[in-house]
Structure 1
Amino acid sequence: MSASAEEQKPAPAAEGPASADDIVVTGRAQRLYRVDVTTVGKAAEDPLDIPQALQVINADLFNDQGARDATDIYRNISGVSFFSYAGVTFRGFRQDQSFYDGQRGNPFIGFSVPQLFNVSRVEVLKGPAGLFFGPGSPGGIINYVSKVPGDLASLRTVATGGTYDRIGISSEATGPVDDAGVVTYRLGGFYEAMRPFRRNTKSTSLIGDAGVSIRTNAGGKLTVQATIYDNDLPGNRLRGILTDDAGDFLSDIRWNANEPTDFLHLTSNAYQARYATEVGSAVTFDAGVRYFESIETQQYHEPRGRVATNPDLVAREFRDQIRDVDGLSFMVNATATIALRGMEHKFQAGGDWYEENSLLASRILRAGVTPLSLSAPAYTTSSRDVARAAALPFTNTDTRTKRRGAYLQDQISLTDALLLVGGVRYDRFEDGVTTTTDGRTTAQSAYRDDAMTFRGGAIYKPRRDASLYVSWSGSFEPQAAASQNTDAGGPFAPVTGGQVEAGLKTDLLGGRLQANLAAYRIVRRNILQVDPSLAPINGQDQLRPIGEVTSKGFEIDLATDLTPDWVLLANYGYNDARITRTVAGQAVTNAVGDRFANAPRHKLGFWTRYQVAPIAAAFAFGGEHVSRRISLSGQQVKPYTIFDASITKRVGIAGVLLRVDNLFDARYAASGFTAQSGHFPGEPRTALAELRLRF
């Protein structure tokens, strides 16, 4: 956030690689962890002028915390907690959606987690974001902003080592290609391997990233990028550890239902081009295209709960699955600042188009799979299960998705202190699912519809470094294509949602104190449920839109310099998400009774850093508390509190990071899942060391 609009910097998308290695400075610590501009609304904007809560996690925080993937940053975001894999609980609701540079096209499909090596920052817009991003969950969106070529020549190399046999190396170079700097480039490579704490598991991650930027005209730039990912996870298609109803683990947290020969392997390629330009001083324009293709193969043993005759044994089934997904998206956005009738209008208009094809081939061996002991697991190769599963036919689920949308927003400056925001979006969507087994079509459904989304808000600035706001924003989510089957009562209109939010944002003391407060109420309607009063048709349970959920809460975010050398980040979120309308005896998906799974009432996080400039070192300490939750099966998920610490030291061109996570080796569940597959255990105490060289 900035102290005034005049102090805004160019859009962060034009930044080069992070300079976070140079974070030990004399004087105040470079506004660490704070931002002046965000592009989460599809255009560069002062956060004080956005009537909705947001957070930006930048490269400084990535580097100080040694963040590797998306799960490493959730503790820094109020209202967000871990659910499973890349999924989060966001203001009470489960969601798995994420965007890249404002576009759909997440290459980490299925059960893989987004990596941060080629990400410059993560932008989080809280609450419904339908105006700019179309169909989606009402909790908010997470947007990963890519690193792009920089104007200054630099080379950064990082060597990594740590517990669980962690070893890795990465390098990234950027700079001008020609003397005039018309063409710039970026090349990056990342490798890291380790043996995580769960038995039989390994992890190897490879990322290759390249980009070229061309200055096409004054204020205009075209950037083309390509990224490849290879994530090999032997024995690492993980479920949880079984617990009792009180939430106590029934075995050592290293227990794993997977055999040593089980695996998950993801390969992805992502390509994108983005053009942005200024037209005079009042108009900006940008357009982008993004394509990705991903294949995830996995063979693994799925736990199915304890054997009734011997509670020490866990029943299992063997799954052989292939996910093949590709997606293509286009977007265009323009802003124009115009004076009309003595008032300044900032018009923003744009559109987007997305098409995704997803094919899941799955065969499941349910009979004759050897159970596994909780107390003394004896692992063997799974060749017998692989061979038996190979005799089964694949069930192929082919899902086709199309999204098209256009939006218009006007931000009116009635006075220097009072702004009004209003916008509308139109979406057209098409979904279709075809299921075949052994060449025979067993199910087929398709649906198309359109929807309008609205957003309105008011911002009052009693001073230039503080804003009070109130807003209403809408969202919608098309029903699952499989639910549109006429035998089940379909087709059905989308799930709709709306949020009322009010808050305060500040950027006081020249940016040394950024404090945000937001209170919200979200209502989701038209949620499909099985209606037990209706008889099945052709074996299909009858669905009806009879569900409603209300989520209420508030969030506090603080970033401040306690002294010129001492920085504090803190966040707190309170949430109460409950079912407010449904059929007696029924429950909304991801909820038990009237409570939502993995939705904590309280979540607290902090990170504080003190630098000692004379010795070019900084010391940091952080923590996270998540209150009691329930699993999808209604089992207790105990509250937990964990702490982390790091030291950074710089000597010439070299920097060193030493970091310890879960400092006191707490044993805890990061989230709950089902009684059959257990709770996801949190990582024990781990240590990470990095040697950073920058030229």
Structure 2
Amino acid sequence: MRRFILLASAALGACPTLAGELDANAGGDIGVGPGDAIIVTGRVQRLYRAEETTVGKAAEDPMNIPQALQVINSDLFADQGARDATDIYRNISGVSFFSYAGVTFRGFRQDQSFYDGQRGNPFIGFSVPQLFNIERVEVLKGPAGLFFGPGSPGGIINYVSKTPSDTPSLRMVATAGNYDRIGISAEATGPVDANGIVTYRLGGFYESMDPYRVNTQNKSRIADGGIAIKTNEGGKLTLQAAIYDNYLRANRLRGVLTDDAGNFLTDIRWNANEPTDFLHLKSQAYQARYATAIGERVTFDAGVRYFKAREVQQYHEPRGLDPNNPDLVRREFRDQIRPVNGLSFMTNATARIDILGMEHKIQAGADWYDEKNILDSRILRTGVTSLSLSNPIYGTSSTDTARAALLPFTRTDTRTKRKGAYFQDQISLMQSLLLVGGVRYDNFRDGVTTSTGGTVSSRPTYKDDDVTFRTGLLFKPRSDISTYVSWSESFEPQSAASQDRNAGGPFAPVTGNQIEAGVKTQLFGGRLQADAAVYRILRRNILQVDPSLPPVSGVDQLAPIGEVTSKGFEFDLAADVTPDWVVLVNYGYNDTKITGTVAGQAITNAVGNRFANAPKHKVGFWTRYQVKAIETAFAFGGEHVSRRISLSGQTVKPYTIFDASIIKGLGFAELLLRVDNIFDKTYAASGFSAQSGHFPGEPRTFLAELRVQF
């Protein structure tokens, strides 16, 4: 706490005295009423709402999209003290944690994410997206191929970056907490010139902590900046850059071993990594976006994004219990380097035109992506000291790095190219009835070159194209109620490594489709938003080993013999119970089963006829009450995830945890005090394998933030 006080003093010392100029309700809506009286609406009113979303590549009212979606905004980030993507999953129905940045999405595992509608995630490999420079997170559920191209059918997550603002603002935050957490950040935005033609944004973030797992330490640095230029009436060019540096000591984490009933075999602080192990990610992302309105009925935008990342990791991988001593965990040492870079382009246009008395919102666009992904890996499998579960002694594997350095790297060089174009028409058949239809063409080319010591062992390549469709019907009995039914398709190219001719390749993509029906409401002037959706997703053409065919050159023969069906129901509620009290509730039910395969063959990430880490029930809630008289807001939330199974079929126990926070206005600033996992429950956030164990959830943690904004 001494560190916190010093940082807070430094932050406050850098700010001029505001002498009452700061309103206690900073962040509220301020308008001018009769007689020029200033009317301040409390920050809680419509606090976590989104009036429009760009998840469909063009700005649109969520009520007009025939598919379930959610938008998590920066107000919720702030109130929940969210740092990275894993902190917000509890707010999204149908989404739960799987591993690292991966999630279970409507029953399916996926790791895909987009930035400002484009491919190019700078958090590669085993790093988790940070939220410091993110304005909101948009979640489109179900197949999103029409706008985003090939991908998993569960849905996509789109991170929308903070951009320069016309309103001058400076925000500084000092952070402290248990596990030696300490941090400071600052961000400034506003006009450069007197006419506001050019605006800027600059931001910097630093945080360090020693998490609860033994030997670990995390240090995260982010620097981002941007310039926006008003090029014409309704037109703007935005240039942005972000640099990330994440150093994680002994934190290329696997789980903690469990028995088949899901009980941890040792303390959750146990770590297979040595103090000298590490993961270090350095990455940069640069993007430019031009958007303009042409008259009142036409919009156009185009964007380019480039990212470059390099993740270096040296770590000890657990390999299960020693059969001769159940207290010892066998290990191997891995030395890996992952350089990745990607370049993407996109363009979109919309036009509203009247044909035969009906308004058409026509939308068309195209995108292109090229990625180079290299993995240099060497693995030391012998002579690595096992580690005790009950009394781990570290420091005995100091020679592992040197011995591994004598091994040749195995290089896996993956090249991915994607290009596609789409067309959609939204027709207003009548004032209360909308018909949406869209088609997309995609062409892709994948290739993987595997070599050891410079000698190439395989070089499979594959190219193909596909056409997918999406259609939906919306009926609005009132302007604040929207009912819909939709049907959409998806496809995913097979893994390039699976296209080996010895394995029977090349193979056609995995295909999928979803039918969904739902209702969206914005009742009582938007104070009550309640959405519900029911869906059925079918996935076909999943590759499996074909036991009826003998191996070729030692490679198992594959065949597209898999089918999976996912059924579910989701409900989301956001309500201003009073002007000072807001409530968020989400619930997701999902039942994903293997509905077609060869007996005895398992689909990846599935055990028997069930998918790993796919809970049937997931509940999340958050409520915030503001007491204006004492300038304080009290918040309370929780999450429940039902029983799951791990990749090895071990039970992952259900859990329920609770969190709380207090936000106190200080006149010149505000103070957040937050506690996660109030009752210090020991639980598994997800399951992995019998060799690596389950990922434990965080024990009770405390966070304090002093925020100054003017």
TM-score (norm 1): 0.97
Q: 1: CA distance between counterparts of 2:446 and 2:417? A: 7
Q: 2: CA distance between counterparts of 1:349 and 1:381? A: 61
Q: 2: CA distance between counterparts of 1:23 and 1:54? A: 25
Q: 1: CA distance between counterparts of 2:704 and 2:45? A: 24
The DSSP-based 3-state class of the residue aligned with 1:246 is coil
Contact 1:335–1:347 under 8 Å retained in 2: yes
Query: After the TM superposition, which residues 399-410 of structure 1 pair with which residues of structure 2 at under 5 Å, given as runs?
Result: 399-410=414-425
Q: What amino acid does structure 2 have at the position aligned with 1:318? A: F
Aligned to 2:621: 606
Aligned to 2:637: 622
5+ residue gaps, structure 2, are 1-23, 30-39
User: Is residue 2:558 matched to residue 1:543?
Assistant: yes
The DSSP-based 3-state class of the residue aligned with 1:414 is strand
The DSSP-based 3-state class of the residue aligned with 1:507 is strand
Aligned to 1:472: 487
Contact 2:25–2:43 under 8 Å retained in 1: no
Q: 1: CA distance between counterparts of 2:424 and 2:95? A: 28
Contact 1:261–1:382 under 8 Å retained in 2: no
Deviation sequence 1:292-348 (CA, Å, 0-9, x none)? 000000000000000000000000000000000000000000000000011000000
User: Is residue 2:245 matched to residue 1:218?
Assistant: no
2:214 to 196, 199, 202: 199
Cα displacement (A) at 1:681: 0.2
Deviation sequence 1:160-212 (CA, Å, 0-9, x none)? 00010000000000000000000000000000000000000000000000000
Cα displacement (A) at 1:487: 0.6
User: Is residue 2:150 matched to residue 1:145?
Assistant: no
Contact 1:21–1:655 under 8 Å retained in 2: no
The DSSP-based 3-state class of the residue aligned with 2:78 is helix
* Count of residue pairs the alignment pairs up: 677
Aligned to 1:373: 388
Q: What amino acid does structure 2 have at the position aligned with 1:286? A: D
Aligned to 1:432: 447
Contact 2:45–2:527 under 8 Å retained in 1: no
2:142 to 104, 107, 127: 127
Aligned to 1:159: 174
2:595 to 580, 596, 603: 580
User: Is residue 2:115 matched to residue 1:100?
Assistant: yes
Cα displacement (A) at 1:650: 1.1
Aligned to 2:20: none
The DSSP-based 3-state class of the residue aligned with 2:403 is helix
Cα displacement (A) at 1:22: 3.3
1:179 to 194, 198, 213: 194
Q: What amino acid does structure 2 have at the position aligned with 1:600? A: P
Q: 2: CA distance between counterparts of 1:616 and 1:393? A: 63
Deviation sequence 1:523-573 (CA, Å, 0-9, x none)? 000000000111001111000000000000000000001112110000000
The DSSP-based 3-state class of the residue aligned with 2:304 is strand
Contact 2:100–2:127 under 8 Å retained in 1: yes
Contact 2:618–2:640 under 8 Å retained in 1: yes
User: Is residue 2:274 matched to residue 1:269?
Assistant: no
Q: 2: CA distance between counterparts of 1:535 and 1:256? A: 41
Query: After the TM superposition, which residues 446-525 of structure 1 pair with which residues of structure 2 at under 5 Å, given as runs?
Result: 446-525=461-540
The DSSP-based 3-state class of the residue aligned with 1:383 is coil
Q: 2: CA distance between counterparts of 1:336 and 1:65? A: 39
5+ residue gaps, structure 1, are 1-18
Q: What amino acid does structure 2 have at the position aligned with 1:40? A: V
Q: 1: CA distance between counterparts of 2:133 and 2:177? A: 21
Aligned to 2:27: 22
Contact 2:102–2:111 under 8 Å retained in 1: yes
Q: What amino acid does structure 1 have at the position aligned with 2:248? A: L
The DSSP-based 3-state class of the residue aligned with 1:88 is strand
Q: 2: CA distance between counterparts of 1:272 and 1:21? A: 31
TM-score (norm 2): 0.95
Deviation sequence 1:26-47 (CA, Å, 0-9, x none)? 6572301011101000000000
Cα displacement (A) at 1:444: 1.3
Query: After the TM superposition, which residues 206-355 of structure 1 pair with which residues of structure 2 at under 5 Å, given as runs?
Result: 206-355=221-370
Q: 1: CA distance between counterparts of 2:394 and 2:402? A: 17
Cα displacement (A) at 1:615: 1.1
Cα displacement (A) at 1:381: 5.7
Identity over the aligned pairs, expressed in percent?
Answer: 76
Q: 2: CA distance between counterparts of 1:460 and 1:223? A: 37
Deviation sequence 1:349-387 (CA, Å, 0-9, x none)? 000000000010000000010000000000006430001
Q: 2: CA distance between counterparts of 1:291 and 1:526? A: 33
